[in-house]
Amino acid sequence: MPNALDEARRELALANRIVANEGIIDAFGHVSMRHPENQNRYLLSRSRAPELVTPDDFIEYDLESQPLRDPGVGQYSERVIHGEIYKARPDVNSVCHHHCPAFMPLLATGTDYMPVFHLGAVGGIRPPFWDQRDEFGDTNMLVVKPEEGASLAHALAKHWMVLMMRHGVTVAGTSVKDCVFRSVFSARNAEYQVRALTIGTEIATLSPGEAKLAGQISSKTTGLMRSWEYWSMRVANKAAAPASVASKAGSSRTKTSRMRSKASPKRAAKARRRR
């Protein structure tokens, strides 16, 4: 029988690699999940780039964002984002915090996120903004204090996404796969929305009814698993690519070496005739 915690670690490691591979997260940002066997704990990687995260990197935290034991490695400073949301929202089982470039124009201008295509409905209509400065004054913009994480969780409320002014985005999901789906397609929507705004005409956004129905695509169709399978394949292909390229390069070098070896007697004969 597969161990539930081991399976969870593998899924979460893949989730981190997917959001990195899809351009949602770079060296900064993180994806967590609620512990599969204990609602009062969650799993979050040690401090490293998400694209490099492995199942062995996860640290187990309580909802106060304290590790159950000294991990002996660096930890993400913004882990309270995850702990405070899990504390406030029992229905949330995964959280992604990112700084996707597609969102930055909206976050810099305070422009509402609006779904402009059906899959963008996963971000909701006008999800809330949270401005750290309003409550905590000037900071380095990192969410490191429990009270800051609690304020962010309060702003998220019953929504699935909260926009953090001049900072990034935090997305919640009912599962790891759901959280990744929301993170990827809300980012795609933000990109399309910003592009549409540059045209200068009125944007045709989804109606509340359309957004409600389209928002169920991930849960009522095969869309969620189809997307997860596709993203997983892209991660696997990327992981295999360097070895493949190296193999081709090695084969090319060997071929060139053989050609030179075969050609060398002829070159030697010509050199003798010239002498």
What pLDDT, on the 0 to 100 scale, is given for residue 242? 63
What pLDDT, on the 0 to 100 scale, is given for residue 219? 85
Q: Which residue is catalytic, options 7, 60, 64, 78?
A: 78
User: Is 78 marked active-site?
Assistant: yes
| Among candidate residues 161, 166, 174, 177, the one with its CA nearest the CA of residue 120 | 161
- DSSP letter string, 153-197: HHHHTT-SEEEETTTEEEEEESSHHHHHHHHHHHHHHHHHHHHHH
What pLDDT, on the 0 to 100 scale, is given for residue 218? 84
Q: 62-76, 77-91, 185-199, 260-274 — which is least confidently predicted?
A: 260-274
State the Cα angle at 25 between 22 and 26, rounded to 5°: 105
pTM: 0.86
What pLDDT, on the 0 to 100 scale, is given for residue 51? 96
Q: Please state, for a pLDDT cut of 70, what percent of the chain lies above it.
A: 87
CATH number for the domain running over 4-221? 3.40.225.10
| Among candidate residues 81, 70, 66, the one with its CA nearest the CA of residue 29 | 81
Dihedrals phi, psi of 170, to nearest 5 degrees? -125, 130
Q: Which residue has the higher pLDDT, 155 or 268?
A: 155
What pLDDT, in 10s, does the model give residues 193-217? Answer: 999 999 977 899 999 999 999 999 8
Residue 236's pLDDT band (boundaries 50, 70, 90)?
Answer: very high
11, 176 Cβ separation under 8 angstroms: yes
Mean pLDDT computed over every residue of the chain: 90
**Residue 120: both structure tokens together:** 């963008």
Coil/strand/helix, residue 69: coil
Instruction: Taking residues 146-166, report their average pLDDT.
Output: 98
Instruction: Taking residues 82-102, report their average pLDDT.
Output: 98
What pLDDT, on the 0 to 100 scale, is given for residue 267? 53
44, 67 Cβ separation under 8 angstroms: no
